[in-house]
């Protein structure tokens, strides 16, 4: 019997991936005027098209959904046109790309919001974290609680953004339900103290995440829909008193919906994998389609997890920044380049499209 390898092809929904390696979403803050991705973004993503699947940087569904400066949107025609150049470049290089759609909720600042209004959240609880705005890191602004009659509009914004993504040439959509952003805020009781149908019980706190995912799947097809979740990550000041039953329930319902994948941050985002007790194996067992494992994976850990059937695909984040040819480097054992932290957020081509390939 041939042992499975992360370099072998994989069928994800109706898409034939060239390998099991996923480029994770990476916020780089380089969108142009109007929050439009430009030629630099097309170059950046096409350089990394040897990944089996690219998941784009998080992309806001509306101006209200924006939380950081110079992040791209997908709610205007100019943004759709900008993303079309990116998807065309990735496809020309033989790759596949999903867009990650987000609404940041309370992780925002009044300087980014329409008419300098307060960011929105499930409850008026300020997150103890910072955001990147006006070329620096500052405390997030005090949010206001969404009114019940505003929630259908947010679901509609996700649906419209999913349709725009297909118009822009994306192969599918990943809903951002992780890392302390809006859908995660609703799911976790550290940020959600509502007493209506979107708060209180596990079922109520899961409602918005499930409704958004259902709307996206109805719009573009379940086989082109995935979601990212982070059950125990404390990212952006989020917390939960009941992560295992909460996310067991969410994943069971997502499985019933038949979406293509769940993309799971195992542990603290970009931090310890053992930050809190959680049975990710039990979570995987509740989902009938593909499981993308994320957080701290290298070749050895991914190979071991694949051998033990702990995941189907493996997402690599920061290693892709300084290694546009990461797949080749992993396959050949070539050393990995290290990224320059000073060029992570904002700027131009330096630290974005100028990392060399092997022998380059």
Any idea which residues carry the catalytic annotation?
181
Region of residue 309 (left: phi > 0; alpha: psi -120 to 50; beta: else): left
User: Counting Cβ atoms within 10 Å, is residue 2 exposed (0-12), middle (13-18) or buried (19+)?
Assistant: exposed
HEC-encoded secondary structure of the chain:
CCCCCCCCCEEECCEEECCCEEECCCCCCCCEHHHECCHHHHHHHHHCCCCCEEEEEEEECCCCCCCCCCCCECCCHHHHHHHHHHHHHHHHCCCCEEEEEECCCCCCCHHHCHHHCCCEECCCCCCCCEEEECCEEEECCCCEECCHHHHHHHHHHHHHHHHHHHHCCCCEEEEEECCCCHHHHHHCCCCCCCCCCCCCCHHHHHHHHHHHHHHHHHHHCHHHEEEEECCCCCHHHCCCCCHHHHHHHHHHHHHHHCCCEEEEECCCCCCCCCCCCCCHHHHHHCCCCEEEEECCCCHHHHHHHHHCCCCCEEEECCHHHHCCCHHHHHHHCCCCCCCCHHHCCCCCCCCCCCCCCCCC
Q: What is the CA radius of gyration of the chain?
A: 19
């Amino acid at each position: 019997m041939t042992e499975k390898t992360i370099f072998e092809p994989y069928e994800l929904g109706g898409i034939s991936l060239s390998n099991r390696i996923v480029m994770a979403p990476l916020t780089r803050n380089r969108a142009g005027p109007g929050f439009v991705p430009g030629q630099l973004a097309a170059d950046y993503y096409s350089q990394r098209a040897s990944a089996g699947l690219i998941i784009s940087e998080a992309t806001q569904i509306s101006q209200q959904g924006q939380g950081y400066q110079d992040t791209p949107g997908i709610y205007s025609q100019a943004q759709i046109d900008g993303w079309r150049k990116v998807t065309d470049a990735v496809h020309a290089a033989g790759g596949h790309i999903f867009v990650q759609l987000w609404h940041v909720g309370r992780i925002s600042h009044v300087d980014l919001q329409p008419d300098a209004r307060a960011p929105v959240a499930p409850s008026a609880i300020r997150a103890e974290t910072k955001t990147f705005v006006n070329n620096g890191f500052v405390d997030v602004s005090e949010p206001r609680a969404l009114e019940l009659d505003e929630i259908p509009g947010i679901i509609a914004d996700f649906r419209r953004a999913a349709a725009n993504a297909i118009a822009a040439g994306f192969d599918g959509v990943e809903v951002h339900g992780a890392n302390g952003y809006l859908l995660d805020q609703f799911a976790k009781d550290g940020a959600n103290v509502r007493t209506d149908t979107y708060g209180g019980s596990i079922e109520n706190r899961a409602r918005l995440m499930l409704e958004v995912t259902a709307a996206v799947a109805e719009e573009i097809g379940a086989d082109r829909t995935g979601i990212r979740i982070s059950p125990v990550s404390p990212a952006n000041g989020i917390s939960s008193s009941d992560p295992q039953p909460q996310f067991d329930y969410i994943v069971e319902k997502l499985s019933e919906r038949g979406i293509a994948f769940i993309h799971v941050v195992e542990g603290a985002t970009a931090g310890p994998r053992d930050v809190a007790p959680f049975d990710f194996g039990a979570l995987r067992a509740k989902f009938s389609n593909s499981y993308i494992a994320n957080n701290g994976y290298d070749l050895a850990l991914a190979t071991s997890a694949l051998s033990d059937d702990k995941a189907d695909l493996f997402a690599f984040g920061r290693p892709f920044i300084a290694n546009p040819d990461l797949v080749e480097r992993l396959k050949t054992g070539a050393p990995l380049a290290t990224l320059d932290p000073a060029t992570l957020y904002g700027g131009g081509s330096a630290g974005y499209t100028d990392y060399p390939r092997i022998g380059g």
